[in-house]
Structure 1
Amino acid sequence: MRQTFAPALLLMLSACGSGGDKSEAPADPAAQTAAEPAPAANTGPSLASAPAAFGQCATCHAIKSGVNAVGPSLFAVYGRKSATGPDYAYSEAMKASGLTWDEATLDTYLTAPMKHVPGTKMTFAGMADAAKRKEIIEFLKTLK
């Protein structure tokens, strides 16, 4: 009896999922769209738009809001007063520096951080290439 039942069951099951009659009306496109996953929310800036020279910065700094690494997040750093990013333990030297991160200050600082703010935690020796510093500063301006 099992042998006669199995082929009949397979025949019935194969008809169930076959797509049925091809004359059926197509599914509602609005319903298909609603079933598709929503695109990912904008999660902030991406390193894909950063200049190549920023790779050195990205070693220690994140660019997303609220994400600190070895160094503080650089999100919205341009125009901000030094040592004011949230949830980062800044050096006493940086806290006392009174700097505001504008073009001139960033350019000077990125040239030789430890000379500009003696006692800073930033151990980066500096970037001699003015064009690369400018690219980095222009990128920092976009992190909002």
Structure 2
Amino acid sequence: MPNGNVTASLITRLEEHRYGPENAISGNKEKTGLNLAISAIQQSPWFQLDLSIAHCIHIIKIYKQVMGWSTDNDLANLRIAVGETDDDMYDASHKYLCAYYDGKPPGEELTITCTQRLYGRLIRVTAVQLVNRLRLREIEVFGW
């Protein structure tokens, strides 16, 4: 996927000057350090990636923090949606659902293969049904 003009956002970031969403698209997959995107504690926190132009999305890799103050719930019960608009991200019909990952990732990274062919510029990762923080070390998107 192209690297130019890609932006990221969190529903609410943990601190104003650290842990911003841009950290999850930096290309840095170091297992240690503070290069993380972390949301504030809230119900169903989300991270959104904007590719600026639409692509057919096939695989999404999410890397979690494995050192320090990471918890098993950092990437638990994830809903991954792909669409063209913010409204698509809230669609309950599963029309824009790439996948739902029920549980906790088995290791440092979680590879999600979309269950259907989806075309869009927005990818949203939501930790559903949780009051927690969403912590991402890095996210990669594969498609055409």
* Higher helix residue share: 1
The reply to whether TM is greater than 0.5 is no
> Whose RCO is larger (CA < 8 A, sep 6+)?
2
TM-score normalised by the chain length of structure 1: 0.25
* Higher strand residue share: 2
TM-score normalised by the chain length of structure 2: 0.25
Tell me which structure has the larger Cα radius of gyration.
1
